[in-house]
Amino acid sequence: MSLRNIAIIAHVDHGKTTLVDKLLQQSGSFRENQRVAERVMDSNDLEKERGITILAKATSVVWKDTRINIVDTPGHADFGGEVERILSMVDGVIVLVDAAEGPMPQTKFVVGKALKIGLRPIVAINKVDRPDARPTEVINEVFDLFAALDATDEQLDFPILYGSGRNGWMSTAPEQPEDASLAPLFDLVLEHVPPPKVEDGPFRMLGTLLEANPFLGRIITGRIASGTVKPNQTVKVLDRDGKVVETGRVSKILAFRGIERQPIEVGEAGDIVSIAGLVKGSVADTFCDPSVETPIQAQPIDPPTVTMSFIVNDSPLAGTEGDKVTSRMIRDRLFKEAEGNITLKIEESSDKDSFYVSGRGELQLSILIETMRREGFELGVSRPRVVMQKDEAGNLLEPVEEVVIDVDEEHSGIVVQKMSERKAEMVEMRPSGGNRLRLVFHAPTRGLIGYQAELMTDTRGTAIMNRLFKAYEPYKGEIAGRTNGVLISNDNGEAVAYALWNLEDRGPMVIEPGWKVYQGMIVGIHTRDNDLEVNVLKGKKLTNIRTTSKDEAVRLTPPIKMTLERSLAWIQDDELVEVTPKSIRLRKAILDPNDRKRAERQKDAAA
């Protein structure tokens, strides 16, 4: 059976996972009566909740006696480490673009990587049934994008299809044909995408995805570059430098058949397979026959730009909600995550109670924290800090991102003002249809931490922001941070409605009555710029005097809901977010007020 390997590239929400659903259905991968979940490729809970793809996944369909392996790639640049490795497994890409929004930054990010390694794209304009669809202009924008990314003449001569992934049809014209189906897309893949290049020689495969299976142990997925592999075969694992990591036997070979993985007797060159049985081999390692000496070259990975401290939870409420609280458990979990995700870098601190975790962006790190709290972990997390570098002359360099904001014209002024306060430089401003503007900025990563929530407030939830790592550039200078102080609880206990009501003129609260609080925990936002210790436990003194003025009903203003991402962006360097399976609390890093004052005096003296 002949083979084709393709990846689907699209921006978040442009419909690639939905399209894969329809490809599986129309190729007969599901039984007539099989119940299939919507967005079957978004397998973990967080992907389903947020509607984004976080992990790259593979599937396969058979069309006209050809097996087509399809890889669904993440659209967020924060998960770009997945994308870069995936592209080394495929021979062609389908670039899926929304007929109204056009090509967006994350499309640009992945397409740039694909064009660089010489893949020829197929462009599919999706959602042409939208009332604001503008397919012709979008095609021109795609062409301009490819040209700007230095595509070759062969890559610029791309075939185009129009369609609606949700309704399950593609066609060479924007109008829906009578025999509406995805057959034109399947046929175009067979015609346009070359069969996988197969090299001569013994078995070699580059590890691309890693996962842990409770029954089979570590499973490594990759494309076989040469030779064949069978169960019980002895294989050697080489790292990037050619050093031998381990030698072992393959216990099982699994191949993608529809959405299921099935054991096969032999894995052949060109196919995407998963092998089990090896203990140490990881992503970017070469799995090969014992006679092979040189590893396959892995794609270089963009450097991490943001780092955070993960600290053992030492608050008075530690251990009351989660069951994984020790530094050993946190350490094992973080190092296990780093094995499969090579864009994460983990370092232990000297006191062994905290870990420095560096990644591509705050979204990637907040997804990791959210996953850990759902697994029962408790930990304290610091504010994200940017990873700085130095050039040869010793000058400080910082990561700068390209930021594209689509916004209604009436809100553009406040966006430009806020971005300039964050040391961003506007490089483009153009209309994007329907009284909306597209603003393009080059902004330091430091200034963007926490801006998403502020942007939503400023534009009444109508703006769309997309970010993409651009380069390391000279340090842009100080950026003004949070201007408000915080209200801090001065004792342990349960918050009382009457006390919160009396404190309302001091500033808005972030806790509700009945919440457990402790000394040093942040309970509200101060209206001034200094921190203030308050008593949220003081109940109303009960007397036997009854008057209308005495018995005023306590009517509280609803508190500000602090989500994980918002909390991480909002806290200052001397504060932490306490994350447990049930709660997200804000606290000072040093809980005792006397120790806090002493630390501040020492800091001032050192400065």
**CB of 216 within 8 A of CB of 252?**
yes
232 is in an annotated binding site: no
pLDDT in tens, 40-79: 344 445 444 544 443 446 778 888 888 888 887 665 544 5
Phi, psi angles (nearest 5°) of residue 470: -105, -65
Q: Which residues pair with 205 in a beta bridge?
A: 224, 287
**Gap between the Cα atoms of 172 and 228, Å rounded:** 39
| 527 pLDDT more than 80 | yes
126 is in an annotated binding site: yes
Q: What count of other Cβ atoms lies within 10 Å of the Cβ of residue 437?
A: 19
| 82, two tokens | 């997945």
Band the pLDDT of 433: cuts 50, 70, 90. Answer: low
Q: Span 429-439, mean pLDDT?
A: 80
Name residue, tokens 């407030």: 457
Q: Span 593-598, mean pLDDT?
A: 90
Per-residue model confidence (pLDDT) at position 83: 66
- Enter the CATH code of domain 2-192: 3.40.50.300
pLDDT in tens, 343-398: 788 888 887 788 999 887 777 788 889 889 989 999 999 988 888 888 888 888 88
42 is in an annotated binding site: no
Per-domain boundaries in the chain: 2-192, 204-288, 389-474, 486-606
Domains 389-474 and 486-606 share a fold: no
* Largest Cα–Cα separation, the chain: 96
243 is in an annotated binding site: no
| 320 pLDDT more than 70 | yes
**Gap between the Cα atoms of 124 and 272, Å rounded:** 24
| 582 pLDDT more than 70 | yes
Which region among 108-117, 215-224, 244-253, 530-539 has the lowest average model confidence (pLDDT)? Answer: 108-117
**Judging by beta carbons within 10 Å of its beta carbon (0-12, 13-18, 19+), is residue 260 exposed, middle or buried?**
exposed
pLDDT in tens, 481-505: 778 889 999 999 999 888 898 898 9
Q: How far apart are the first and last CA of the chain?
A: 71
Band the pLDDT of 12: cuts 50, 70, 90. Answer: low
Domain at 204-288, CATH homologous superfamily = Translation factors (2.40.30.10)
Per-residue model confidence (pLDDT) at position 57: 61
20 is in an annotated binding site: no
| 398, two tokens | 């910082």
Phi, psi angles (nearest 5°) of residue 429: -150, 115
Q: Over the range 477-512, which residues count as b (16 or more CB within 10 Å of their CB) and which as e?
A: eeeeeeebbbbbbbeeeebbbebbbbbeeebbbbbe
**Gap between the Cα atoms of 28 and 42, Å rounded:** 20
- Enter the CATH code of domain 486-606: 2.40.50.250
* DSSP three-state, residue 396: strand
Per-residue model confidence (pLDDT) at position 37: 39
| 540, two tokens | 């109303």
| 224, two tokens | 């076989």
Q: Span 131-147, mean pLDDT?
A: 88
Q: Span 581-594, mean pLDDT?
A: 91
531 is in an annotated binding site: no
Residue 125 CB-half CA count within 13 A: 29
Per-residue model confidence (pLDDT) at position 98: 87
Q: What count of other Cβ atoms lies within 10 Å of the Cβ of residue 388?
A: 14
129 is in an annotated binding site: yes
- Enter the CATH code of domain 389-474: 3.30.70.240
| 165, two tokens | 């992934």
| 39 pLDDT more than 50 | no
Band the pLDDT of 521: cuts 50, 70, 90. Answer: very high
64 is in an annotated binding site: no
Which region among 192-201, 454-463, 551-560 has the lowest average model confidence (pLDDT)? Answer: 551-560
| 66, two tokens | 């050809």
* Residues with Cβ within 8 Å of residue 120, at least 6 apart in sequence: 92, 93, 154, 155, 158, 192, 193
